[in-house]
Amino acid sequence: MLADLTIHEFLEKTASHAPVPGGGSVAALSAALAASLTEMVANLTIGKKGYQEVEHEMIDIAKNTHLFRKNLVQYIDNDADAYNEVMTAFKLPRDTEEEKNLRKEAIQEQLKQAALIPLSVAKDAAKLLELSAKVVEKGNKNAVTDGAVAAMMARTAVLSALYNVKINLNSIKDEEFVGRVSKQVQHIEADVIVRENEILSLVDL
């Protein structure tokens, strides 16, 4: 599993001529890093003098980001698996009309899955952006830049994942599916850029 590789191994594999891990897996990793940093700032706030009023909120944030982190690590492999399934579909036999039709259906189905996985990553990363906003605003001020980096990583994860959604949508023939997912992409994309700027404006250095 990609998620079990060391940092050095993951970077080497990403840099190789192999198509996976690619941008989708890196987007999931970026979101997982955003979760980790947000969780760290929350943990650095819990039990600290002067932050008693937000302690329960920080405990909830730490729990939520921990769950996000575990889920997003799985998406690192899920994205790579989705790509491999698309490639497998392309290799299906096409000697007869029936085989050609089955191949086309399989390709379209796997392309949809390959679009939905990074869409889920983008949605999770967008939620993490909101959690990072809370630790930037209310968390331990000594770790405010860590919260800011979490926000930037979350934004990067959202936009990166959405790029992977878009490239798969380009090859999907189901107009209803493409239209529905495209609306979600546009909404998430527009919102996340605005939110990042709002969050970073809270950092006074």
| pLDDT tens-place string over residues 88-129 | 999 999 999 999 999 999 999 999 999 999 999 999 999 999
Indicate which CATH number applies to the domain containing 103.
Answer: 1.20.120.680
- pTM score of the predicted model: 0.95
Q: Give domain status of residue 15, yes or no.
A: no
Q: Give domain status of residue 9, yes or no.
A: no
pLDDT number for residue 205: 87
Q: Give domain status of residue 13, yes or no.
A: no
- Over range 66-80, report the average pLDDT: 97
pLDDT number for residue 26: 98
**Residue partners of 152: CB distance under 8 A and separation at least 6:** 196, 200
Q: Give domain status of residue 58, yes or no.
A: yes
Q: Give domain status of residue 113, yes or no.
A: yes
pLDDT number for residue 35: 98
19: pLDDT strictly greater than 90 = yes
- Domains identified in the chain, total number: 1
pLDDT number for residue 10: 96
Encode pLDDT of 147-197 as tens digits. Answer: 999 999 999 999 999 999 999 999 999 999 999 999 999 999 999 999 999
pLDDT number for residue 142: 96
Q: Give domain status of residue 42, yes or no.
A: yes
Domain that holds residue 41: 21-200
Q: Give domain status of residue 8, yes or no.
A: no
Encode pLDDT of 166-176 as tens digits. Answer: 999 999 999 99
Q: Give domain status of residue 5, yes or no.
A: no
Q: Is the dihedral of CA 175, 177, 182, 187 positive or negative?
A: positive
CA distance 120 to 58: 25
pLDDT tier, 134 (very low <50, low <70, confident <90, very high otherwise): very high
Encode pLDDT of 32-64 as tens digits. Answer: 999 999 999 999 999 999 999 999 999 999 999
Q: Are 31 and 156 in contact (CB under 8 A)?
A: no
CB atoms within 10 A of CB 91: 9
